[in-house]
Amino acid sequence: MDERRFRKRTLFLILYLVFAILPVYWMVNMSFKPNTEIVSTFSLWPKHFTLDHYHTIFTDVSWYSGYINSMIYVAMNTVISLLVALPAAYAFSRYSFLGDKHVFFWLLTNRMTPPAVFLLPFFQLYTTLGLMDTHIAVAMAHLVFNVPLAVWILEGFMSGVPREIDETAYIDGYSFPRFFTTIFIPLIKSGVGVAAFFCFMFSWVELLMARTLTSVNAKPIVAVMTRTVSASGMDWGVLAAAGVLTIVPGAIVIWFVRHYIAKGFAMGRV
């Protein structure tokens, strides 16, 4: 009985993974084909294998600096988001205070603004501050949607931790900062892992704000990519190669946080 159940689950998982991987495979496949082959023939693997597209990206400074710029502001954004969100999520999960529910919901409403019209005031605000075309400008703009997300995710995980743990620690003479960093955060590792990954991911793929706030020095890879659409038609191969390369940093990030996500609660130790 259990055996059959196990097989059913595995079968479902494999089917989903196939569904998930095929479009990605098609992108990888495209990235090794010359452009003429991409638009003219259907082939399951590259017939005229080429590394030209990757060569373009790694030798053209405007391409590879896009990756570096993106990584800089995404890293800044993820670190700031988590640092401010952790104490706030603790406050929301443990105490009631004036306006707590309203502030909590208000935070999330900042993710609900359709970007098209809001880009112009963003542009004006950051121009006035003299922050245009800097990494910190993009990192700060992305806080608008990442901080609320991090607070909500972390609050969900923190609420699952029984309050007796806090009380016991305080009775044992732990100060708040020490309790928070040495006991509490390890308890919600999986939440921190997921929140870090989501902050990374949403900042990494965001296009409209990042493009509006940068021009040369901090231009992110997502904005560089839009260049492949030109008067001479679409440069499909380079776009696919760039797409393949955008997956790499995120895959590394999730590889690092996987233990946090997979291990979860270590109640036994407390």
Selected from 191, 199, 212, 218, the binder of other proteins by CB under 8 A is 191
79 binds other proteins (CB under 8 A): no
Alpha-carbon span 122 to 259, nearest angstrom: 37
State the DSSP string of 212-269: HH-SSTT--HHHHHGGGEETTEE-HHHHHHHHHHHHHHHHHHHHHHHHHHHH---GGG
Place of tokens 């030798």: 59
CB of 163 to other proteins, least distance (A): 8
Judged by CB under 8 A, the chain residues 114 through 133 that form the site for other proteins are 114-118, 120-122, 124-125
110 binds other proteins (CB under 8 A): yes
For the chain, what is the largest distance between any 2 Cα atoms, rounded to a whole number of angstroms? 72
CB of 256 to other proteins, least distance (A): 10
9 binds other proteins (CB under 8 A): yes
CB of 19 to other proteins, least distance (A): 7
**Residue nearer to other proteins on the CB measure, 152 or 179:** 152
Selected from 3, 4, 20, 269, the binder of other proteins by CB under 8 A is 20
Alpha-carbon span 198 to 179, nearest angstrom: 26
**Residue nearer to other proteins on the CB measure, 9 or 55:** 9
Count Cα neighbours of 162 within 13 Å in the Cβ-side half-sphere. Answer: 7
- DSSP label of 44: S
Question: For 45, phi and psi rounded to 5 degrees?
Answer: -140, 160
17 binds other proteins (CB under 8 A): yes
Selected from 61, 102, 109, 232, the binder of other proteins by CB under 8 A is 109
169 binds other proteins (CB under 8 A): no
Alpha-carbon span 83 to 246, nearest angstrom: 26
Judged by CB under 8 A, the chain residues 199 through 218 that form the site for other proteins are 201, 204-205, 207
Rg (CA), the chain: 23
**Residue nearer to other proteins on the CB measure, 60 or 100:** 100
240 binds other proteins (CB under 8 A): yes
**Residue nearer to other proteins on the CB measure, 52 or 104:** 104
Judged by CB under 8 A, the chain residues 145 through 164 that form the site for other proteins are 147-149, 151-153, 155-157, 159-160
Task: Indicate the residue type of 17.
Answer: L
Candidate ranges 48-56, 57-65, 241-249; the one touching other proteins (CB under 8 A): 241-249
Alpha-carbon span 61 to 51, nearest angstrom: 17
